[in-house]
Structure 1
Amino acid sequence: MEINENTEFPKITINTQTGEKGITILKKIVENDFGWLFRPNHQEADFGIDGYLDIITESGQVTGKSIAFQLKSGKSYFTEENEIGIVFKGNIKHLNYYLNNETPIIIIVLDVENELAYWEAFDKTKTEKSGNNWKMTIPKNNLLNVKSKNKLLEYVGPITDYISQMENEWGFNQILKKGSNRILFRIPNEEITNNKFDFITSALERIQRTPELVLHLKNRVDICFDDYEDNNKELFEIEEVKNWIIQLYQKTNCWAYLFSMDRHSGFMKILFFCHIPILSKTIVNGRFKIDFETEFAKEFIDNLFGKLNQYCIDKNLSQQTNIEMTNKIISCYFEE
């Protein structure tokens, strides 16, 4: 049977052929000139990004860094030029997609006949309105070749060896989980006089970074104020310390879970007395006897219970743990 141009077969269009040639040329540039991976998108998933250039080091390490691209191939994309370069016209529906995409994007216009690719990084400040769409100029001196490799790398930022960082992080976690010792944070006097909380809030956040740390450090944390050891007053009687502790208490819910509440605990008892008016203080048999407003004490304890409840919810801790720490609160404040 003779086959001619009218015989019924699926046909590939000139535009499709040109597009495929453009992809082949771009792939060759990326792989031969840059030594990177060329990763095209499937057409059914084309939202204005035709593919990705995956950055590979000179040693062949796939870095996880990528540059997205939109590719336009053929003479029809060179019909409008200005003194600086080729005018690329973009679809308005792609604009929000580009602007919300955290991967750097380049626009490539490719001369198939001469196998020359021109590019420009997408940047909203480089665009102009064009009817209902937008446009940007791609400079003629921006040829995509081996000379543009370093400039492209500027858009992805430095490549970091995170494994060495993680080894340090994991090592510190192991130190925190070692044995059954407590963690004691010493608050510098400068934090209090300057009313700063960065040191302690960052430290508390760090020791709660993984669920394993949270579970291990239950009832093992304390705070001390060594710079005030020579002061004759109790810490809760020193106005600047009292005010600092009251403010700190509002910044986290971890107190009744992480902090020590046994007979050796220091901070949780200071925290209590910072929140209630002291009526009198006497020394009986070498020990303090303090009279205080019970209504304020009840208000503080209720608030502490609430913080514990919320902390257990936030950290997915069991009801059994909640009950255990509730009993420690009662023991700390009511059973001595």
Structure 2
Amino acid sequence: MTRTQSHITERIGVSTVDNIFSKDLKWFFREQRVADFGVDAEVEVVEDGKPTGKLIGLQIKSGSSFFKKVTSGKIRYYGELKHLEYWTNHSLPIYIILHNPEKQITIFQRVERHLAVLTEKGWYIDIPLENRLDATARKILSSGVGSDPESLKRYRFASDKMDMIKYKNHKVFFRFDFWVNKSFGLRGIDVYFDDYQKSVPDENIEIWGPTHSTQPIMRHFFPWLDYELADFEHPDDNCGEIECHILRVKLNKSAKRFLKLEQFYENPDLPYDIDYQNTENILEESYNTLPWEIDNDDFDPELTTMMQEEIHRDNE
């Protein structure tokens, strides 16, 4: 298989898994854009149309080669020891997802140390073919998911570090287009640097889910950002179909502390004009607080009030 074919097969797998979680289970699916982070995507459990803050991490493998040998109704997945150590020590429960693009079969198994068998070259885990990834897997997948607020917040900060660095040097806008007459309202976020009126966004964040509000998305996926409403289009302006929210976002205080500490950890011998021990203690405290803090010292007061009203309505 060529590199191009391999990439296409990989994208088919991610797209299929995205559709299953987003459309069949109606949970939030977010692909991780940092390829070497060790987790391909994260999923947030949704109950009664509301995000719960409970997350699972996914390692997605696509290709018919994974399904060539079936033993006692199971597929044997082989991996390296470093991956086993990483996944079993992760703050989120990690699931391996195998997708067969030829037969349209998608199966899953949670990575747990007691299920892994060590070998001379690494380890393997058996994934039953009956573990089909579809709407019937809702109960199994939602049991024992990661829900510790501190661990989840630490994970968000670590996984989004590169975005923090990028956003630090730009004026950044998020565009949410909510389909108001559809239960599956959110279908991605467009990111604009410096000017949200560009014809083409600079980036797109793949977050899909059953919501029509910016607040739960910002709270659960971006605890390192503050935001204000920059522009709003009523659905009547779009034939009654799409409600557009433009948010201006910026790093909050905790994100700034996090980046300073990361810089210190990466270059401990360089001189810095900051009390790192005190900064680390403050950041530790912020991990244990609610996942939303607002630092609106240079945001428009009137628009910020509008956002606070939205937060209040969503929390009722």
* TM-score tier after normalising by the smaller chain length: 0.3 to 0.5
TM-score by length of structure 2 reads 0.44
The structure whose residues are more often helix, as a share, is 1
Larger Rg: 1
Q: Per chain length, whose mean CA-contact separation is higher, i.e. which structure has more relative contact order (CA < 8 Å, sep 6+)?
A: 2
The structure whose residues are more often strand, as a share, is 2
TM-score by length of structure 1 reads 0.42
